[in-house]
Structure 1
Amino acid sequence: MTGQGAAGDSRWIAAMPAVFVAIWCTGFVVARLAMPHAPPISFLSIRFALSALCFGAWVFASGARWPSEPAQWGHLAVLGLTTQAGYLICGWAAVKYGMGAGTMALIAGLQPLLTALWLHTQGERLKPLQWTGLLLGLAGLVLVVLHKLGAGELNALNMGLGAGALLTITFGGLYQKRFVKPNDARTAMFVQMAVAALISAPLALLEHEPIVWHHELFIALGWSVLVLTLGGSSLLFLMLQRGAATRVTSLMYLVPPAAALLAWALFGDPVGAVFWLGMAMSALGVYWVVRR
């Protein structure tokens, strides 16, 4: 390999965490784009099915190894139920029923705070700075939520759905830490997507709103499958192989404000001074909780 080629590879590896976070912050913005044209569960059931097909083809082409222990299939299925189906259905439905993409990203971004509180009840003591971070993060959320309530964006339904997204992604993360052993990311994602598709498809039949095959819906579907699922997951897989995954943590605090900026640029969502103050407080609070 030439020196120029090695330098290019090094720059790409160094940029992986930032690219991953840039992809990740588009999740609920894509929901905002798709929801005028399709009910959330119907859209997600199609996304899960197409993602499972793509991962299945990738597994077949690459010869990736399947989980060797039968119990791991069940544990991966639980992740498909929680971190995929439960989290995305609740989060996308919250956006469907009026919650802004930036606000939903902020609520989902509080997962480390909720995880830290749970682990504290299990004997992992928090340091004073972490307690300060918890209080600051929650205060930032309250500031954003109260501001949005005053503007009429939030209501009991979408707030309940947002809380459901936060609870399912937090439970899934704790479950994975406790039960899921290292597996090939490609086969693990195939199992999760297949389970999510099987769960969401019957639920989609309960939705009465028709799917309107608008060009924005095709854009959202293509981005969700090819960029968010396959692209984001592939980057995470590559970062794990190269030991760069820990660098993602320091950049994840940028996801909610980046999502809010995208929603402002694409849809004109209001982002005033109070909103940014709450975002900054929450980002700093999460950083204090999870920093080493």
Structure 2
Amino acid sequence: MSRLATWPLDREADARVRRRAMAVAFVVLWCTGYPAGLIAVQHAAPFTILFLRFASAGAIFAAMASFARARRPALREVAHHAVVGVLSLAIAFGGIYEALRLGIGTGIAALFVGALPLATATIGLLLGERMRAVQWIGLAFGLAGVVLVLQGRFAASGDTAAYAASTLGLFALAAGTHYQKRRAPAIDLRVALAVQHIVAALALLPVAVLAEHFRIDAGAAFAAALAWLVLVNSVGGFALLFTLLRGGAATEVATLFFLMPPVTALMGWLVLGEHLAPAMIPGFALVAFGVWLGTRLR
């Protein structure tokens, strides 16, 4: 077979390799937000942190778009991405951070985020999407692995309000994932992320000012944590997330979130000295197998 005949296959294989590399990078970058967020919450109120994070990231994306002379979107396009910003950023992260403030614990918060594929699949079914049996099996293995990894980390997490806030954040993120894929137009990525982050910051500003009085214990630790959250998690992480969303089904992309709790547990062990029990290892294997099943190409 000639090189010309195999060229399309080579391009397809290269695209799969690049996509998988981006998926790995996204998982790693996203999970670093947990230790950074834990440090930040110790020095400032949660919604104040989120406002500063989203406002700073929005300004960076806007500057990047301006420097590149990206096309200015129409008002209708801005409105769609504003909805994504409110759902995927303001409400989703607001719910998770509020749950942490109420004492739900980082392990349970990670479990809620890890359940994103189930929430995304549920919303997808309501919207008429179809799921193959192998994808449901992958989701089940992934959830079982998440629970196994996080067993023993559920103590002192029974606050009903905290669970309600986490659930709200989970389904807001799932709804934002679907809305991003279905309705948000494919405008310049820097413009889209600038709109989403700025709108999310404006939505959280009243809460940060009126409820938290913009409480900040400024210092080197807080500055370093905030800088990490902005540059690594918001700028790097969300750029990868929405690049992945543009190239695949929302449920398949969301299945990557099953990797968040075990990877976060490993990072907590390495960075923060948190306990990592040997019984968690089978959970890691179940999660990896579930993600492999759930993200298989049609």
TM-score range, shorter chain: 0.7 to 0.9
Deviation at 1:249, TM superposition (A): 7.7
Q: 1:59–1:125: structure 2 CA closer, same or farther, 3 Å change rule?
A: closer
Which whole-Å CA distance do the structure 2 matches of 1:65 and 1:125 have between them? Answer: 35
Gaps of at least 5 residues in structure 1 are 1-9
Q: 1:156–1:270: structure 2 CA closer, same or farther, 3 Å change rule?
A: farther
Which AA in structure 1 matches 2:61?
F
**Partner secondary structure for residue 153 of structure 2:** helix
Which whole-Å CA distance do the structure 1 matches of 2:288 and 2:18 have between them? Answer: 25
- Given the alignment, which residue of 57, 71, 84 partners 2:63? 57
Q: Does the CA-based 8 Å contact 1:133-1:288 persist in structure 2? A: yes
Q: What does residue 7 of structure 1 align with?
A: none
Which whole-Å CA distance do the structure 2 matches of 1:174 and 1:127 have between them? Answer: 18
Q: 1:124–1:65: structure 2 CA closer, same or farther, 3 Å change rule?
A: same
Task: Identify the range of structure 1 (252-261 vs 230-239) with the bigger mean alpha-carbon deviation.
Answer: 230-239
Deviations 1:81-140 (A, max 9, x none): 010111111222333333443442332132222222332344433333333334444444
Task: Identify the range of structure 1 (204-213 vs 176-185) with the bigger mean alpha-carbon deviation.
Answer: 204-213
Deviation at 1:199, TM superposition (A): 0.6
Q: Does the CA-based 8 Å contact 1:101-1:260 persist in structure 2? A: no
Q: What does residue 3 of structure 2 align with?
A: none
Deviation at 1:53, TM superposition (A): 1.6
Q: Percent identity?
A: 36
Gaps of at least 5 residues in structure 2 are 1-13
1:202 aligns with 2:223: no
Q: Does the CA-based 8 Å contact 1:17-1:245 persist in structure 2? A: no
Which whole-Å CA distance do the structure 2 matches of 1:214 and 1:277 have between them? Answer: 40
Q: 1:262–1:245: structure 2 CA closer, same or farther, 3 Å change rule?
A: farther
Q: Does the CA-based 8 Å contact 2:181-2:245 persist in structure 1? A: no
Deviations 1:143-182 (A, max 9, x none): 5676333x32453333222222211100101112221121
Which whole-Å CA distance do the structure 2 matches of 1:80 and 1:268 have between them? Answer: 34
1:256 aligns with 2:261: yes
Q: Does the CA-based 8 Å contact 1:236-1:245 persist in structure 2? A: no
Q: What does residue 131 of structure 1 align with?
A: 136
Q: What does residue 152 of structure 1 align with?
A: 156
Which AA in structure 2 matches 1:129?
V
Q: What does residue 6 of structure 2 align with?
A: none
Q: What does residue 182 of structure 2 align with?
A: 178
- Given the alignment, which residue of 50, 53, 57 partners 1:44? 50
Q: Does the CA-based 8 Å contact 1:95-1:158 persist in structure 2? A: yes
**Partner secondary structure for residue 152 of structure 2:** helix
Deviations 1:54-107 (A, max 9, x none): 122112211011223x22211111111010111111222333333443442332
Q: Does the CA-based 8 Å contact 2:55-2:197 persist in structure 1? A: yes
1:217 aligns with 2:207: no
Q: 1:159–1:291: structure 2 CA closer, same or farther, 3 Å change rule?
A: farther
Q: Does the CA-based 8 Å contact 2:47-2:94 persist in structure 1? A: yes
Which whole-Å CA distance do the structure 1 matches of 2:255 and 2:208 have between them? Answer: 37
Q: Does the CA-based 8 Å contact 1:93-1:158 persist in structure 2? A: yes
1:188 aligns with 2:187: no
Task: Identify the range of structure 1 (99-108 vs 276-285) with the bigger mean alpha-carbon deviation.
Answer: 276-285
TM-score, scaled to structure 1: 0.80
Which AA in structure 1 matches 2:208?
A
Which whole-Å CA distance do the structure 2 matches of 1:203 and 1:45 have between them? Answer: 9
Which whole-Å CA distance do the structure 2 matches of 1:106 and 1:94 have between them? Answer: 12
Q: Does the CA-based 8 Å contact 2:98-2:165 persist in structure 1? A: yes
Equivalent residue runs for 1:14-29 within 5 Å: 15-29=21-35
Matched residues, number? 279
**Partner secondary structure for residue 38 of structure 1:** coil
- Given the alignment, which residue of 82, 85, 96 partners 1:91? 96
Q: Does the CA-based 8 Å contact 1:101-1:263 persist in structure 2? A: no
